[in-house]
């Protein structure tokens, strides 16, 4: 099973997780990251690196985050691959911990 980037990443887009990924399976959208489910090797290195706890194993995904399985699968096929750490979004601290941000997802 793959790891899934969830709603907590929206408008934050920390990339600490990207730096530790041994298979470069992260893809970058305007204000969100996704993991390609077929490229993820389930190593779990990314999960503890996320400062906003946005990454979950698919089998431990909170029920309200289930839509992000499809979001990760779809947008990892469209968005460009990211392989190096970048600065977080300028508004990251403002949006940290805010719930129900799916309507803010830029695609």
pLDDT per residue over 22-34, tens digit each? 999 999 999 999 9
Strand partners, 26: 35
Q: Enter the tokens of residue 62.
A: 């909170």
Give the integer Cα–Cα distance in Å for 78 and 87.
22
Percent of the chain with pLDDT over 90: 98
Q: Across residues 4-9, what is the average pLDDT?
A: 98
DSSP string, the chain: --EEE-GGGTTT---HHHHH-TT--EEE-SS-EEE-TTT-----SSGGG-TT--EEEGGG--GGGTHHHHHHHHHTTTSPB--S--PPPTTHHHHTT----GGG---
Given this structure, which CATH class describes domain 3-86? alpha beta
0.95 exceeded by pTM: yes
Question: Is the confidence at residue 14, as pLDDT, over 90?
Answer: yes
Domain boundaries, the chain: 3-86
90's tokens: 């300028």
Confidence of residue 1 (pLDDT cuts 50, 70, 90): confident
Beta bridge partners of 28: 33
């Amino acid at each position: 099973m793959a790891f899934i980037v969830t709603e907590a990443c929206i408008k934050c887009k920390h990339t600490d997780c990207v730096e530790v990924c041994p298979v470069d399976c992260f893809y970058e959208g305007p204000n969100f990251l996704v993991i390609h489910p077929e490229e993820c090797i389930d190593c779990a290195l990314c999960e503890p690196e996320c400062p906003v706890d946005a990454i979950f194993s698919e089998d431990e995904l909170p029920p309200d985050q289930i839509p992000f399985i499809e979001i990760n699968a779809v947008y990892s096929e469209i968005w460009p691959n990211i392989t190096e750490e970048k600065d977080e979004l300028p508004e990251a601290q403002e949006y940290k911990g805010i719930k129900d941000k799916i309507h803010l997802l830029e695609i």
